[in-house]
A and B are shown apart, each in its own frame.
Chain A
Amino acid sequence: MRLGRWAWLLPLPLLAVLGLFLFGLGELVWSSFAGPEGFGLDRYRQFFARPDYIDVLFRTLWVAALTTVVSLFISYPVAYFVARYRGRKDWLLVLIMLPWLVSVVVRTYGWIVILGNRGLLNEFLGWLGVIDAPVRMLFNTTGVVIGLVHVFCPFMILAILAVFLQLERQLEEASMSLGAGPVETFWRVVLPLSLPGVISGVMLVYLMSTGAIITPLLLGGLRDRMLGTQIYQEMFQLFDFPKAATIAVILTVTAFVVVLPLQWLERRVSRNLKGAA
């Protein structure tokens, strides 16, 4: 089919979306700098002057980092298993994505049932005799990390799986034929070759964790706010839009401080693996 002279119309929707996005972003950054006493860093000074906000910032980074690391350790073996599974992989993929058929809110409420002081897990541990008093796993950092790991693991699994699926089985066999046992083969061949997937999974989960709202809102304690919930609170409870904008900018900047080096690393690693596929 020839598009002819109407072809220039095609990019228009894209430009419209891009324009709106950039306008929103510009507006956000602008309102964080524009204060009652004119343009300046006033709002940022106010933010960093409050120890409770600093706490929120560091808690956000800590929870995001913890969520990322735990997700990685759970997802890596799962991705490897799926990649090497000789039967039908598509069913395993369906299983991995299945939680996404249920809304995040519902799934998070599910965790309340499991993790609560009188929840399934505590009752079970008590029945086993492992604990005397219920372990607090809800409305604190533990609860938030468990909830976030559950929500984000599929992303990590898919990111790593994408690399594993391109990894030729024969590379591992070559390693073994040269005398490397399974452990040595993992460290010398499998892990280095899967790094691009690991890095993109880490970036993905870390970014999503820093911006998470629903899970920390439901599973986190009132005192354990994160930047996402703080923004939510400023906007919908206190209607302080400029402050919300300021926190949003700080959130974005801190997220990218971690992601940019990772991106550089990924590009480096991928370049070394050129011709791997």
Chain B
Amino acid sequence: MSQTDTLLAIDRVVKTFGSHRAVDGVSLDVRRGEFLTLLGPSGCGKTTILRMVAGFEHPDSGTIAIEGRPIQGVPPYRRPIGLVFQNLALFPHLTVGENIAFGLRVRRRPQEEIARSVDEALALVELSGYGERRVHELSGGQRQRVALARALIIRPAVMLLDEPLGALDLKLRRQLQLELKQIQQRTGTTFIFVTHDQEEAITMSDRIAVMNGGRVEQVDTADRVYNRPSTEFVATFVGDTNLLSGRVAQAGDGEARVSVPALGRDVPAPAGSLRAGDPARLSIRPENIRIAGPDAAWRVEAIVRDVVYAGAAHRYTVEAGDMRLLVAAPANPGTAPLAPGQRIAITWAGADAALLAASAA
């Protein structure tokens, strides 16, 4: 990545509250025009990072730079940022139009320009004609759009969004996720989006930074975060997975073999940085485990224990060796699902699994 691509550079930032290390040495480069999501459980430090970029918190050490210029000591109102809060924080004493115009009024822009920009912003978020309404007359989704328009109108270099969809119901949430993404692409603004919802992160993001305990565990595209998790935390936090504990038995060029005591055998895994003898965890997604046909390269016997029909797929819990595994199989119309108690054999391709270093715990 060349230097000019980086719009926001967070470099080894540490922030402690009392004895709690909220952000523990985070480095992150945000590229111009990208939609980056900070994903993690509550208390992982994602909101603190956002507040430090906005200027409401200050790092204990490390630097934050926008367009190559450090922003240490620059007050929030002089930073080129837009902010959408979790609770939106719309001004209740102002109309929708006045809320959106706020940033331009503060900048003492001419009246006609403000009026024009507000109309454009209202059109952008599909609220044309709502300028005179009061905030409390709007629905949750509409307020959401007002908050977005209010922050976008000042044309910030970076938009910071702190779980703005958290309070909405699922259907509206999905719809706004798409709209938000479209607006981001249409305006070409760099978005940093904070959420604890992995589905939301996968739907919207160009890249996802998965955070845990004040650290960034992995920064990657949604696809790679899901299919190539680099730590056990990422594998379990993003989507469902089966974690198998074992030891690397053999590390070859393309493929490794991991001996899993619970299964009583070696299973294939992609080659990684681990060497033979290292303790390891193998993460295999439910949909990557297949019912083994007669031509399978390897197989392990299993008994179906539980079946759940989940729309497009059947989710099975199967018992193999001493452990239970989740298996997701597409529901084919016309074929009966496997029944509890049925004996089957399962298999997976080594390349579909992820080989992870066993965590210290």
**Which of A's residues lie within 8 Å of B, judged by CB?**
168, 170-171, 173-181, 184-185, 188-189, 192-193, 272-276
Is the beta-carbon distance between B93 and A193 smaller than 8 angstroms? yes
From B54, B87, B92, B136, give the contact of A177 (CB < 8 A). Answer: B54
Q: A193-B92, A275-B92, A276-B92 are in contact. Are A170 and B87 (CB under 8 A)?
A: yes
Whole-angstrom distance between the alpha carbons of A38 and B251 in the complex? 116
Is the beta-carbon distance between A168 and B89 smaller than 8 angstroms? yes
A-B contact pairs, 18 of them (CB 8 A): A171-B89, A173-B54, A174-B89, A176-B55, A176-B75, A177-B54, A177-B151, A178-B102, A178-B103, A178-B150, A179-B103, A180-B77, A180-B106, A188-B106, A273-B93, A274-B136, A275-B135, A276-B92
Is the beta-carbon distance between A174 and B93 smaller than 8 angstroms? no
Q: Flag whether B154 is at the interface (Cβ < 8 A).
A: yes
Is the beta-carbon distance between B75 and A171 smaller than 8 angstroms? no
Is the beta-carbon distance between A181 and B77 smaller than 8 angstroms? yes
Q: Report B-chain residues with C-beta under 8 Å of the C-beta of A274.
A: 92, 134, 136
Q: Report A-chain residues with C-beta under 8 Å of the C-beta of B54.
A: 173, 177
Q: Report B-chain residues with C-beta under 8 Å of the C-beta of A192.
A: 93
* CB neighbors of A among B194-235 (8 A): none
Q: Least Cβ distance of A266 to chain B in Å?
A: 14
- How many residue pairs link A and B with beta carbons under 8 A? The number is 76
Q: A174-B83, A176-B75, A179-B154 are in contact. Are A189 and B103 (CB under 8 A)?
A: no
Q: Report B-chain residues with C-beta under 8 Å of the C-beta of A188.
A: 102, 105-106
Is the beta-carbon distance between A170 and B106 smaller than 8 angstroms? no
**Residue in A168, A174, A176, A177 whose Cβ sees the most chain B Cβ within 10 Å:** A177
Whole-angstrom distance between the alpha carbons of A181 and B105 in the complex? 13
Is the beta-carbon distance between B93 and A272 smaller than 8 angstroms? yes
Q: Report A-chain residues with C-beta under 8 Å of the C-beta of B92.
A: 193, 272-276
Whole-angstrom distance between the alpha carbons of A181 and B77 in the complex? 6
Q: Report B-chain residues with C-beta under 8 Å of the C-beta of A174.
A: 83, 85, 89-91, 150
Q: Report A-chain residues with C-beta under 8 Å of the C-beta of B107.
A: 179
Q: Flag whether B76 is at the interface (Cβ < 8 A).
A: yes
Chain A residue nearest to B135 (CB atoms) is A275
Whole-angstrom distance between the alpha carbons of A171 and B81 in the complex? 16
Q: Report B-chain residues with C-beta under 8 Å of the C-beta of A273.
A: 92-93
- New A-B pairs, 15, CB < 8 Å, besides A174-B91, A178-B103, A193-B93: A168-B89, A173-B54, A173-B85, A173-B89, A174-B150, A176-B77, A177-B83, A177-B151, A178-B106, A179-B77, A181-B77, A188-B105, A193-B91, A274-B92, A276-B93
Whole-angstrom distance between the alpha carbons of A271 and B134 in the complex? 11
* Contact digits for B138-172, partner A, Cβ 8 Å, 1 yes 0 no: 00000000000011001000000000000000000
Chain B residue nearest to A185 (CB atoms) is B77
Is the beta-carbon distance between B76 and A177 smaller than 8 angstroms? yes
Q: Report A-chain residues with C-beta under 8 Å of the C-beta of B154.
A: 178-179
Whole-angstrom distance between the alpha carbons of A162 and B93 in the complex? 18
Chain A residue nearest to B147 (CB atoms) is A174
Chain B residue nearest to A184 (CB atoms) is B106
Q: Least Cβ distance of B160 to chain A in Å?
A: 8
Is the beta-carbon distance between A168 and B87 smaller than 8 angstroms? yes
* Contact digits for B66-97, partner A, Cβ 8 Å, 1 yes 0 no: 00000000011111011101010111110000
